Amino acid sequence: MIVLVFNCGSSSIKYQLFDMPDGRLLAKGGVSRIGEAESEAVQKGDRGEIRRQAPVKDHEQGLTAIREMLTDPEKGPLKTIGEIEACGHRVVHGGETFTGSVPINEKVEAAIEACADLAPLHNPPNLAGLREAKKMLPDVPQIACFDTAFHQTLPPHAYRYALPASLYEQYRIRRYGFHGTSHRYVARRAAELMGRDKYDVNLITCHLGNGCSLAAVRNGRSLDTSMGLTPLQGLVMGTRSGDIDPAIVFYLIAKGHTAAQVDKLLNKESGFLGVSGLTNDEGDLEKAAAEGHERARLALDIFAWRVKQYIGAYLAVLNGCDAVVMTGGIGERGTEMRARILEDMEDIGLTLDPEANARMVGMEGAIHASNSPRKIFVVPTNEEAAIARDTFTIASGGTV
């Protein structure tokens, strides 16, 4: 079955084309800077690369450009668009409605739209993309895969905030968590690496990139996660502050900052960028720190400390774990950061093998020492492959 996977943003569309069930990637690409004069469409596949620069005013034109590249006579993987048999869509927020991936119908679209106020930057473009995909492929099953779904197994004492109950009852203010597709993918892969059933593992999965989150996984299901109502809660990130004293917001407003300014400060001007004053890129900060830049080193130390804190907390709520799993851009490639996070954790069963850690860059494998009671894995995430698997399963009449 040929499965097309979409990840639609406000000004971009990313996609991957898979041959299922073996998961062979046929092509990947995207359209960037939608709505701007200098839009770009790019596709890479076995038959070569296509790169086109022309204005793309909206998602409809974006999908037209993708259709043309997929069926390009010289470099496209398909002869006709009709070869696509199912289409999967990444949707960021499913609220409390969705506990897994589902076929898209009018009720599902309405529910995605109803969650837009919880993810105003993500759900509207996700919805726009899937509606355009339905027009392009009207007779093909369309499947929605939600970033929040994996975390719907959190118990109330983990997802509720200590706020008046009326705020939950009226506005559904609670912890939802994100990166669920990634956490689920690497948890399942870690179970395979250990030769265990997917529901027979207790793990701490660490998705560390420009956006970061941890999940405590008990018996293969999410028990707790670091992000909350929005992706702002939890770890320090590229430009997000992560956990702070909430009174800081009121303090800044009292000092003359508007709510919009504080929102921008916490989401786009903090984290690595805010502390270092240099960049939101962890790799660049490592280079700057090695050259003696103190604020770069401080940003890295704050990040590592926060991840270490969450690992310790999740070891407590899980009463131990079988393995810690590192993924995301930093988790997969950040050898120095992995060492910084896992330093001095031997007494709680986590001992890093420095040589294995240094070798494991963008690859899958173990980085724990032979005498480590708990395992440590690097597992490159593949959210698109997870979406393709769900899409294939549902389109074939199965359940996920």
Q: What angle do CA 261, 264, 269 make, to 5 degrees?
A: 120
Measuring CA to CA, which residue among 241, 213, 9 is closest to residue 121? 9
Residues 6+ apart with CB under 8 A from 63: 13, 129, 132, 133, 135, 136
Angle between helices 282-290 and 335-342 (to 10 degrees): 80
Measuring CA to CA, which residue among 50, 15, 53 is closest to residue 34? 53
Instruction: Please state, in angstroms and rounded to a whole number, the distance separating the CA atoms of residues 355 and 361.
Output: 12
C-alpha dihedral (119, 105, 30, 381), degrees to nearest 10: 70
Instruction: Please state, in angstroms and rounded to a whole number, the distance separating the CA atoms of residues 179 and 202.
Output: 18
- In the residue annotation, 147 being an active-site residue is answered as yes
Find the DSSP H helices in the chain. Answer: 59-70, 106-114, 123-136, 156-159, 165-171, 180-193, 247-254, 259-268, 271-276, 282-290, 294-318, 328-333, 335-342, 354-359, 383-395
Residue written as tokens 């003696």?
Answer: 292
Task: Provide the β-strand partners of residue 221.
Answer: 218
Backbone phi, psi, residue 102, to 5°: -140, 155
Residues 6+ apart with CB under 8 A from 399: 100, 393
Active-site residue among 147, 224, 322, 390?
Answer: 147
Catalytic residues: 147
